[in-house]
Chain A
Amino acid sequence: DAGVTQTPRHEVAEKGQTIILKCEPVSGHNDLFWYRQTKIQGLELLSYFRSKSLMEDGGAFKDRFKAEMLNSSFSTLKIQPTEPKDSAVYLCASSLGSWGDNYAEQFFGPGTRLTVL
């Protein structure tokens, strides 16, 4: 089975640019999460979708970060405009989203390392 896939793996952007990161969750998973990971802050939740509906949109990230789930198998995270402080690893994760042995277990993609100059 394919795991979570993310593209691109690396992205370099100039300050002020718009970038779009992509994620494909595990097939059959209902929940999708976007995180930002830095050494100082650790994992920060950016967005959470359940069956394509936006359930949570991280407050501090609302102004320049927009996640969308176009269908059950594809999501994008747009950062517009980018700033140097956005340099981080962006992780996408998916979860079955149902009660059972795998309750709340999240499967992470390989991440996109973003550098903003």
Chain B
Amino acid sequence: GDSVTQTEGLVTLTEGLPVMLNCTYQTIYSNPFLFWYVQHLNESPRLLLKSFTDNKRTEHQGFHATLHKSSSSFHLQKSSAQLSDSALYYCALSNMGYKLTFGTGTSLLVDP
């Protein structure tokens, strides 16, 4: 079956530094949809951005990600971290169905 791997459980960095959260996936299907969800403390997850186009950068709220089918990756990036970016980030995959397969999540902690 499908799987999503987020290698970092916790990423800690200083405000102003760049953010990169890793996401790789495995699927037998050739046209996956990839998503990033963000969950702030005491809130529920909400969609941050999504993509299904190979090698096309997708941006939202200062974050960006590019789906690379050649490496099965969909890393989340931001040029400069803000304190308000501290949250739990989930990468997820969908394959021509409507169910999402989630990774285990990466907690991002931004220090002043």
- Name which residue of chain B comes closest to A110, CB basis: B44
List B contacts of A95 (CB < 8 A). 98
Out of A42, A50, A56, name the residue touching B103 (CB < 8 Å).
A42
Instruction: Give the A interface residue count (CB, 8 A).
Output: 22
- With A42-B105, A43-B90, A43-B105 in contact, is A106–B100 under 8 Å at CB? yes
Interface presence of A71 (CB below 8 A): no
Cα-based distance from A95 to B94 in the complex (angstroms): 13
Tell whether A34 is near chain B: CB-to-CB under 8 Å: no
Alpha-carbon distance between A107 and B105 when the two chains are bound, in angstroms: 17
On chain A, the residues within 8 Å of B105 by CB distance are 42-43
Q: Which residues of B contact A50 (CB under 8 A)?
A: 98
Are A105 and B102 in contact, with the CB atoms below 8 A? no
Minimum Cβ distance to chain B for residue A17 (Å): 25
Chain A residue nearest to B52 (CB atoms) is: A103
**B contact face: mostly helix, strand, loop, or mixed:** loop
Contact B44–A104 (Cβ < 8 Å): no
Cα distance A111–B46 in the bound complex, in angstroms: 13
In the bound complex, CA of A104 to CA of B37 (Å): 12
Complex Cα–Cα for A42 and B45 (A): 12
Q: Are A104 and B46 in contact (CB under 8 A)?
A: no
Interface centre among A43, A55, A110 (most CB of B within 10 A): A43
Cross-chain pairs A/B with CB under 8 angstroms, 20 sampled: A33-B99, A42-B102, A42-B105, A43-B45, A45-B99, A50-B98, A55-B99, A91-B44, A95-B98, A103-B33, A103-B98, A104-B33, A104-B50, A104-B98, A104-B99, A105-B35, A105-B47, A106-B47, A108-B44, A111-B44
Residues of A within 8 A of B (CB): 31, 33, 41-43, 45, 48, 50, 55-56, 91, 95, 97, 103-111
